[in-house]
Amino acid sequence: MIYYFCKTKIMKMNLSRQELIWLLSTGGEDAEAIFRWAQAHRKIYAGEKTYLRGLIEYSNICRKNCLYCGIRKDNTNPTHYTLSETEVLEAARYAHDKQFGSIVLQGGENRSEGHISTIERLIREIKSISGGELGITLSFGEQSEATYQRWFIAGAHRYLLRIESSCESLYNTIHPNDSLHAYQNRIDALRDLRNTGYQVGTGVMIGLPGQTIENLADDLLFMRDSDIDMCGMGPYLEHVQTPLYDRRHELLSKEKRFFMTLKMIGLLRLLMPDINIAATTAMQSIDPRGREKALEAGANVVMPNLTPENKKEAYKLYENKPVTEWIDLPEEMIGFGEWGDSKHFKKR
């Protein structure tokens, strides 16, 4: 069945909502066929290489209270930290020395002028110490358009902001019901990022309580219709110090969430063959070879963690977060020293 389906439909990459729902429900050989086709598409349209982004988790201080997240404002358990400029520059220097090509600076959402100007300065310094060679991706949540512009002018050129779920009613069940957490803010922020000139990445969590296969098919169509350049998506992982933990009895097993994420990656690769798709750390927390399996399902980016050892423990978005820095891949498959920009963005 899937073979015929692949030949006639997947190859055309024009999968309908109904077809996505059907494919997301498959398993066994049918799912293997999705992964095989996705791999082939990845190689042709996004290239053979896997690109590295050294992940620097800058601060766990956040003004938001997303119901799923371990560093939400009201969770006072983790010790608050913000990396010093020296710590960030050391991590960036390490990434440059190891030829990672790019780094990601990520952290809680903070809109204070102090935070904005520190990040702006750090971007310039990272560019300077690497002779302009390190590409910089940011992930600091929703900011004003003026802030996005300041950071872009300073030298950052990619930004990650997950939609978390494209279904507004589901989004509202995993966020507090107030203006700070409004779905429309996120849509507006994604538009502002695009207008500023960034390569824009988004993504969703997979296996959220109350999430249906239909929601996931709509997430794939949302990403296609938003014409994104990059995607980072991973399984939802419950965290005991968060309100959403109360709904843990509704969850699929971790293995099922993992498998569903692999299928989401494979199908997104078929829908958007030339974008960058990350093999996320959350995959690795369920399966030690999770990121490698995500690469085999169509992903082409990994983000080794470069956060200083003594701070990693405090940046627990979810439980059992692994902190390994390396990936089990032959060296010739890695795009050392390359930015590895989204080919999709370049074509636009």
Nearer to ligand SAH, 130 or 285 (CB): 285
Whole-number minimum distance, CB 317 to ligand SF4, in Å?
6
Nearer to ligand SF4, 142 or 229 (CB): 142
Among 6, 20, 31, 69, binds ligand SF4 (CB under 6 A): 69
**According to the binding rule CB under 6 A, does residue 164 interact with ligand SAH?**
yes
Residue 340, classed as helix, strand or coil, is coil
Compute φ and ψ for 342, nearest 5 degrees.
Answer: -65, 125
Stretch that binds ligand SF4, among 69-77, 223-231, 275-283, 308-316 (CB under 6 A): 69-77
Whole-number minimum distance, CB 311 to ligand SF4, in Å?
15
Among 10, 33, 38, 62, binds ligand SF4 (CB under 6 A): 62
| Segment (H or E) for 119 | helix 113-129
Q: Closest by alpha carbon to 317, among 75, 146, 149?
A: 75
Rounded CA-CA distance 12/7 in Å is: 8
**According to the binding rule CB under 6 A, does residue 135 interact with ligand SAH?**
no
Question: SS3 for 16-48, per residue?
Answer: CHHHHHHHHCCCHHHHHHHHHHHHHHHHHHHCC
Rounded CA-CA distance 272/223 in Å is: 9
User: How buried is residue 205: exposed, middle or buried, by Cβ count under 10 Å (0-12/13-18/19+)?
Assistant: buried
What is the footprint of ligand SF4 within residues 89-128 (CB under 6 A)? 108-109
- For residue 31 the two structure tokens come to 């799912």
**According to the binding rule CB under 6 A, does residue 316 interact with ligand SAH?**
no
Stretch that binds ligand SF4, among 13-21, 58-66, 209-217, 285-293 (CB under 6 A): 58-66
**What are the strands, taking DSSP E only, across 126-221?**
135-139, 158-160, 199-202, 205-206
**According to the binding rule CB under 6 A, does residue 71 interact with ligand SF4?**
yes
**Radius of gyration over every alpha carbon of the chain, rounded to an integer in angstroms:** 19
Q: What is the DSSP letter of 343?
A: H
**According to the binding rule CB under 6 A, does residue 152 interact with ligand SAH?**
no
Q: What is the DSSP letter of 253?
A: P
| Contact partner, 158, from ligand SAH, ligand SF4, none, Cβ < 5-8 Å per class | none
Per CB under 6 A, residues contacting ligand SF4 are: 62, 64, 66, 69, 71-72, 108-109, 141
Per CB under 6 A, residues contacting ligand SAH are: 62, 68-69, 106, 108-109, 139, 141, 161-162, 164, 205, 234, 236-237, 239, 282, 317-318
